[in-house]
Amino acid sequence: MTSLPVLPLSPDPPGRRPALPPRHLADLDLAGRQALVAELGEPAFRARQLSTHYFGRLVRDPARMTDLPAATRERLAGSLMPRLLTPVRELACDDGATRKALWRLHDGSLVESVLMGYPDRVTVCISSQAGCGMACPFCATGQAGLTRNLSTAEIVDQAVYLAGVAASGAVSGSPPRLSHVVFMGMGEPLANYSRVVDAVRRLCAPAPEGLGLSQRHVTVSTVGLVPAMRRLAGEGLSVTLALSLHAPDDELRDELVPVNQRWKVAEVLDAAWDYASRTGRRVSVEYAMIRDVNDQPWRADLLGRLLAGRLAHVNLIPLNPTPGSRWDASPKPVEREFVRRLREAGVSTTVRDTRGREIDGACGQLAASETGSADGR
Ligand code: SF4
């Protein structure tokens, strides 16, 4: 048996003193920014000006903030907009429609984000933690463990930075405005609960308070931290909850998603249905298709019975194998039969596209290849 991962809902990894990043305006709501600006001896309206640059115009270079007096520009931007993310690598594939960014944080931690352009929308996949403590054995990030939680601003800044990349027209064949954010990068979002919820509020508040995204265009994923799922259902948010199920039976899920040893499939699904009924939002059930592990017809039938009649949609994910790993993607005919059985049970099912494969697109693979720890050896 795999040992249990770190306790969920713990604000920071136990036994460590995380090196907090410098405070940034995205950590604060507008009132908090105004108070901070006043502390710096400047009129409160400067907070709104800075916020308009950052969230509204996606400008982070003080030299371009010409409505601020030159004498205070650098000082204010230095205090409220310190650099949080230093690009280490930016890679493009899918003819420029997918761009992957690897960032170094102020303490040397590496995290990654992906920008994906579609004809009708632009989506950013962001990280909520440096590393991850959930220890899913098929995942590159899970092999290296958790380094630390990201701050609210470190989470938000990934989306704002890549919104700027999209606005520059760098994503071919897509609208220039970022419209969707998914918390499906490195980390378990609900294990960094309060910062992730703050980040959602900031991403969805209208500019200059925030980035002005629709809550319905934000997806928060979880491996099934039941108390946090129930808490999220009561936040008054209408974001999509994506549940990484990966197996319909406890015996296999205990292995694939070790937190299942604590909260079983039935409890996790109960919390998912509670989320659906309290928010009216359809739950997205994520299922990585792993050859000869979880892709048998009887598991499709069991999953179909568990989900039939529920406000749920299944998103099958062809596994993106990590180098040297024993886990591989299911063959296409097996995948098609899995889909057929789920649909026959009346469960809405799609297969996720596999964006970014050629640039180490699975979560954690780019960071792992940078540090040479891609395969959990
Ligand atoms: S699959 Fe997600 S939750 Fe599991 S170890 Fe990887 S990043 Fe963490």
The CATH number covering residue 55 comes to 1.10.150
Domain enclosing residue 96, as ranges: 86-374
Known binding residues for S-adenosyl-L-methionine: 187-188, 221, 244-246, 320
Q: Give the model's pLDDT for residue 152.
A: 98
Residues 74 and 95 in one domain: no
Q: Give the model's pLDDT for residue 170.
A: 86
Residues 102 and 55 in one domain: no
Check if the beta carbon of residue 248 is closer than 8 Å to that of residue 306.
yes
Ligand 1 atom nearest 363 alpha carbon? 7
> Which amino acid belongs to residue 48?
R
Run of H or E residues at 286? strand 283-289
pLDDT in tens, 323-353: 777 889 999 999 999 999 999 999 999 998 7
Q: What tokens were used for 347? A: 């469960």
| Active-site amino acid positions | 112, 363
**pLDDT band at 20; cut points 50, 70, 90:** confident
> Per the domain annotation, does 229 fall within a domain?
yes
Residue 222 has pLDDT above 50, yes or no: yes
- Of 80, 115, 144, the position where a domain reaches its end is 80
Q: What tokens were used for 108? A: 């040397």
Residues 62 and 94 in one domain: no
**pLDDT band at 9; cut points 50, 70, 90:** very low
pTM for this model (two decimals): 0.91
Residues 67 and 143 in one domain: no
Distance 16 CA to ligand 1 centre (A): 21
Residues 286 and 220 in one domain: yes
Residues 144 and 249 in one domain: yes
> Per the domain annotation, does 143 fall within a domain?
yes
> Per the domain annotation, does 268 fall within a domain?
yes
Residues 90 and 75 in one domain: no
Q: Find the residues whose C-beta lies inside 6 A of ligand 1.
A: 132, 134-136, 139, 141-142, 186-188, 223, 363
Known binding residues: 132, 136, 139, 187-188, 221, 244-246, 320
Residues 60 and 105 in one domain: no
Instruction: Give counts: helices (H), strands (E), the chain.
Output: 12, 12
Ligand 1 atom nearest 135 alpha carbon? 5
Neighbouring C-alpha atoms within 13 Å toward the C-beta of 120: 1
Residues 241 and 341 in one domain: yes
pLDDT in tens, 270-314: 999 999 999 999 999 999 999 999 999 999 999 999 999 999 999
